């Protein structure tokens, strides 16, 4: 397949994988899609032999490119050090904090310093959501623990260059990265993992698309460690077929398929009224869909068993991953999956936002919903609940306002916002609802200072970074009675509540009334803030480094084993 050299937004050359020859691309996709069947028919040994051969080809093909990336990194590092301003100290990028030294003792670096390449597969790295915060916090923790390591981000964001991406990371998340050791390689195959590219058999299509995207990434550069931070388990499984010595790590925000999803197809099940596929398992078509999902779940389980290190963002996600992957992982004697709570700007929120009797007087009857404008966030439910709440005309409704803040990724999200505006108008709450798109971090801080209630309407939200931000800012949370917000976040402290749970629009409306009518809001705000301390960036860095060290040690062992042959 032909290689292309394209220009990045800053005018520099970037390498991409040629996908103009559509018939050949389709042949590759079909071939990769048939891998599971081929393994059964031809045998694992033959498949892995073919994979190793392809992997060797990729390594030879990208060797020169890898050398050039390393050379450019050294050049950028030298220029950075020669700069008159001591930016390293100002950003504190170089120091290895006490929490980021893993198994080292007395603040020392411990084992031999590692300077390899970590490849992060995150094709939507500039999206600005909670998943992206995990990516950048993980890179920062990796940089601090292994300052000489190189972090490669495989992205499909062709419209922005490195400087623009890092500037947004700083502005949106207040995360300062060390630029010389971060490199962006631009993918041409991101569309293969979009749901819109697969109107039918979406789960399978996106998973096969992730394999094509992984080939695209490896055609640009083969990393020493390969980490997925978006949920492309099939890409990690494909990496294992190609490269025996490349350890793989997964940070799972939510399982591609879960037992809850399978259960939701049955209208008589406990989850038969939840989710976008609720009750769709009836009839012949529904029966076929259920069979397809069960077969896909089996494939997903097998792929998940091959990943070396698995991290999940919540107890809810861990439970589902274990139910799907544990059988294969025990068979392969893989590491046990662990919970690594995503990083939240708890410390910054505590510094920036006062929670006291004085600040209580400055808060308004604002209900704040921070979430990307995606279908599963269920903004319609919150708008409907808010309209029902406002219709009561109780004292709590006086001056009440619903503020929706979220990033817009594409035209689909823009259309969704337009439809939500229409719904607010139809519900006759237009004057009491505000939309703020792609708000900066300072803007979000200002709303967190003024708001009284934090809202989350997603069923089975895998974690809920926004909910932790609510708590850290002293907001009283009203969240869906499911997933991470229920199990991990909005929980009791000293047998006292830190927020409210709801499922239906009427329950949310009632919870809005209860939260705004509380006589002692400050007491609950303080309990919520105390609860948020479990989810700091420091806690994330500690846990991330422990898991990354497993991958680094595994890589070093594989290198020694290969040299011994």
pLDDT of residue 257: 86
Which of the four pLDDT bands, split at 50, 70 and 90, describes residue 151? very high
Q: Which of 310-319, 450-459, 508-517, 555-564 has the lowest average pLDDT? A: 555-564
pLDDT in tens, 389-400: 999 999 999 999
pLDDT of residue 17: 43
CATH for 1-82+113-253 is 3.40.50
Of all residues in the chain, the percent with pLDDT exceeding 90 is: 65
Contact 230, 208 (CB under 8 A): no
Residue 230, CA distances (Å) to 193, 253, 433 in order: 11, 7, 32
CA dist., res. 109 & res. 541, Å (int): 15
Mean pLDDT over 506-517 rounds to: 97
pLDDT of residue 333: 82
CA dist., res. 307 & res. 237, Å (int): 7
232's CB contacts (< 8 A; 6+ apart) are: 121, 193, 207, 210, 213, 214
What's the gap between Cα 182 and its chain centre? 19
Residue of higher predicted confidence among 277 and 455 = 455
| Run of H or E residues at 416 | helix 411-426
pLDDT of residue 293: 82
Q: Which of 56-60, 195-199, 335-339 has the lowest average pLDDT? A: 195-199
Q: For 480-495, b where at least 16 C-beta lie within 10 A, e where not — what string? A: bbbbbbbebbbeeeee
| Other residues' Cβ atoms within 10 Å of the Cβ of residue 249 | 25
Say yes or no to pLDDT of 108 above 60. Answer: no
Mean pLDDT over 63-75 rounds to: 93
Q: What size, in residues, is the chain?
A: 565
Say yes or no to pLDDT of 109 above 70. Answer: no
Residue among 437, 464, 407, 441 nearest 126 (CA): 407
Say yes or no to pLDDT of 27 above 70. Answer: no
pLDDT of residue 9: 45
Indicate the pTM of the whole model: 0.79
Looking at the chain, the domain(s) classified CATH 3.40.50.2000 span 346-535
What's the gap between Cα 422 and its chain centre? 30
pLDDT of residue 332: 82
pLDDT of residue 415: 93
pLDDT of residue 19: 43
Of 9-13, 270-274, 277-281, 282-286, which has the strongest mean pLDDT?
Answer: 282-286
pLDDT of residue 268: 60
pLDDT in tens, 171-222: 888 899 999 999 999 999 999 999 888 888 888 999 999 999 999 999 999 9
pLDDT in tens, 253-270: 989 887 777 766 666 655
Of all residues in the chain, the percent with pLDDT exceeding 70 is: 83
Architecture of domain 346-535: 3-Layer(aba) Sandwich (3.40)
Residue of higher predicted confidence among 139 and 172 = 139
CA dist., res. 485 & res. 495, Å (int): 17
Which of the four pLDDT bands, split at 50, 70 and 90, describes residue 129? confident
pLDDT of residue 281: 54
Say yes or no to pLDDT of 521 above 70. Answer: yes
CA dist., res. 138 & res. 22, Å (int): 36
In three-state form (DSSP H/G/I as H, E/B as E, the rest C), the secondary structure along 247-308 is CEEEEECCCCCCHHHHHHCCCCCCCCCCCCCCCCCCHHHHHHHHHHHHHHHHHHHHHHCCCC
pLDDT of residue 32: 55
Average pLDDT for the chain: 86
Say yes or no to pLDDT of 88 above 90. Answer: no
pLDDT of residue 82: 81
Contact 342, 280 (CB under 8 A): no
Say yes or no to pLDDT of 377 above 80. Answer: yes
Which of the four pLDDT bands, split at 50, 70 and 90, describes residue 5? very low
Residue of higher predicted confidence among 445 and 98 = 445
Residue of higher predicted confidence among 233 and 30 = 233
């Amino acid at each position: 397949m032909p290689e292309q050299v394209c220009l990045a937004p800053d005018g520099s050359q970037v390498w991409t994988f040629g996908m103009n020859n559509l018939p050949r691309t389709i042949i590759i996709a079909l071939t990769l899609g048939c891998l599971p069947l081929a393994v059964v028919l031809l045998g694992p040994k033959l498949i892995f032999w073919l994979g190793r051969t392809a992997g060797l080809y990729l390594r030879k093909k990208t060797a020169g490119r890898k050398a050039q990336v390393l050379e450019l990194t050294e050049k950028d590092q030298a220029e950075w050090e020669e700069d008159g301003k001591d930016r390293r100290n100002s950003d504190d990028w170089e120091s290895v904090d006490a929490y980021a030294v893993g198994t080292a003792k007395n603040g020392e670096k411990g084992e031999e310093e590692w300077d390899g390449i970590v490849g992060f597969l995150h094709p939507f790295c500039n999206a600005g959501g909670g998943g992206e915060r995990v990516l950048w916090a993980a890179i920062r923790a990796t940089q601090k623990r292994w300052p000489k390591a190189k972090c490669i981000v495989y992205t499909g964001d062709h419209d922005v260059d490195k400087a623009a991406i890092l500037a947004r990371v700083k502005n949106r998340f207040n995360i300062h990265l060390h630029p010389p050791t971060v490199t962006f390689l631009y993918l041409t195959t991101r569309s293969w993992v979009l749901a819109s590219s697969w109107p039918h058999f979406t789960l399978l299509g996106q998973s096969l698309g992730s394999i094509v995207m992984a080939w695209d990434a490896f055609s640009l550069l083969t990393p020493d460690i390969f980490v997925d931070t978006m949920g492309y388990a099939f890409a990690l499984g494909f990496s294992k077929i190609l490269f025996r010595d490349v350890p793989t790590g997964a940070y799972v925000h939510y399982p591609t398929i879960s037992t809850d999803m399978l259960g939701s197809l049955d209208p008589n099940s406990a989850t038969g009224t939840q989710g976008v596929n609720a009750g769709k398992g009836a009839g012949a078509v529904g029966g076929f869909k259920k069979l397809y999902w069960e077969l896909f779940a089996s494939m997903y389980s097998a792929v998940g068993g091959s990943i070396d290190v698995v991290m999940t963002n919540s107890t809810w996600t861990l439970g589902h991953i274990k139910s799907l992957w544990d059988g294969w992982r025990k068979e392969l004697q893989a590491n046990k999956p662990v919970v690594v709570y995503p990083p939240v700007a708890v410390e910054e929120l505590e510094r920036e936002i006062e929670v006291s009797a004085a600040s209580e007087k400055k808060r308004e009857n604002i209900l704040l919903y921070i979430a990307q404008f995606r279908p599963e966030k269920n903004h319609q439910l919150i708008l409907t609940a808010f309209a029902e709440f406002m219709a009561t005309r109780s004292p709590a409704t006086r001056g009440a306002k619903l503020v929706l803040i979220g990033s817009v990724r594409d035209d689909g999200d823009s259309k969704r916002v337009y439809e939500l505006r229409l719904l607010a108008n139809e519900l006759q709450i237009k004057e009491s609802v505000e939309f703020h798109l792609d708000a900066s971090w300072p803007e979000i801080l200002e709303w967190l200072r003024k708001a009284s209630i934090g809202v989350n309407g997603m069923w089975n939200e895998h974690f809920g970074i926004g909910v932790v931000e609510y708590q850290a800012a002293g907001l009283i949370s009203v969240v869906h009675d499911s997933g991470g917000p229920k199990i991990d976040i909005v929980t009791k402290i000293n047998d006292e509540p830190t927020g409210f749970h709801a499922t239906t629009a009427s329950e949310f409306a009632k919870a809005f009334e209860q939260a705004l009518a509380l006589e002692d809001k400050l007491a609950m705000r303080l309990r919520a803030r105390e609860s948020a301390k479990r989810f700091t960036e420091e806690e994330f860095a500690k846990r991330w480094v422990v898991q990354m060290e497993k991958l680094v040690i595994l890589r070093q062992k594989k290198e020694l084993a290969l040299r011994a042959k």
